[in-house]
Chain A
Amino acid sequence: FMLTQPHSVSESPGKTVTISCTRSSGSIASNYVQWYQQRPGSAPTTVIYEDNQRHSGVPDRFSGSIDSSSNSASLTISGLRTEDEADYYCQSYDNNNVVFGGGTKLTVL
């Protein structure tokens, strides 16, 4: 299966943005979805695990959800800050395979 994300999104500081991640086949609910943040020149860090659990130290401005009707997952960031500007990747898996989305570049302008 594949995970499809928008190539880029942009929003103003203080606003809310949602990044989608659509699973091409199989149910989005069948395996957990994770989200990672990657700032330029840095390794990825985990933001959300198991669909909607915030990783240690991640502020509650970040939230994750899944929607079976659209077979997609979403990462929502509220109260946008300039430091949220980064690439975001969704990830899921099936029996023996891990799949990453293509990544979404978030610009906070």
Chain B
Amino acid sequence: QVQLVQSGAEVKKPGASVKVSCKASGFTFTNYFFHWVRQAPGQGLEWMGVINANGGTTNYAQKFQGRVSMTRDTSTDTVYMDLSSLRSNDTAVYYCSSGYTFGDFDYWGQGTLVTVSS
């Protein structure tokens, strides 16, 4: 069955970077787009960007440009999201989601809590 399994919770200090992974299984990895979406405590969903697993091209939300990097490893069917220069308001649950087309979010990972605190 389709699964997206994300890495575990992280605690980071302000100014640091975090790298979250998302391992896919149950479908052909390179046929899909992978989005990253975050949700701050008590808030709604916020789109961060997308990577096309076929070729690795990326598209980032303007808010995160210069601070986010999304990559993929086709040998392990895993995508990664790097967020740098962390601040306290980056504290959120980060989700990966796969979609067959750019606008789709078919399946979701379980989420990774990133806490930024001094």
Residues on A lying within 8 angstroms of B by beta carbon are 31-32, 34, 36, 38, 43-46, 49, 55, 89, 91-93, 96-103
Is B35 part of the binding interface, using a Cβ–Cβ cutoff of 8 Å? yes
Residues on B lying within 8 angstroms of A by beta carbon are 35, 37, 44-47, 50, 59, 61, 95, 97, 102-111
Using A43-B109, A43-B111 as known contacts, say yes or no to A89 and B103 having CB atoms under 8 A apart: no
Closest approach, in angstroms, between the C-beta of A78 and any C-beta of chain B?
24
Q: Which residues of A contact B59 (CB under 8 A)?
A: 96
Interface centre among B59, B102, B103, B111, by most chain A C-beta atoms within 10 angstroms, is B103
Q: Which residues of B contact A31 (CB under 8 A)?
A: 103
> A83 CA to B102 CA in the complex, in Å?
30
Interface centre among A31, A36, A44, A45, by most chain B C-beta atoms within 10 angstroms, is A44
Q: Which residues of B contact A97 (CB under 8 A)?
A: 47, 61
Task: State whether B47 touches A103 (Cβ < 8 A).
Answer: no
A32-B103, A92-B103, A100-B37 known; 14 new pairs, CB 8 Å cut-off, are A31-B103, A34-B103, A34-B105, A36-B105, A43-B95, A43-B111, A44-B105, A44-B108, A46-B106, A46-B108, A98-B35, A98-B103, A99-B47, A103-B45
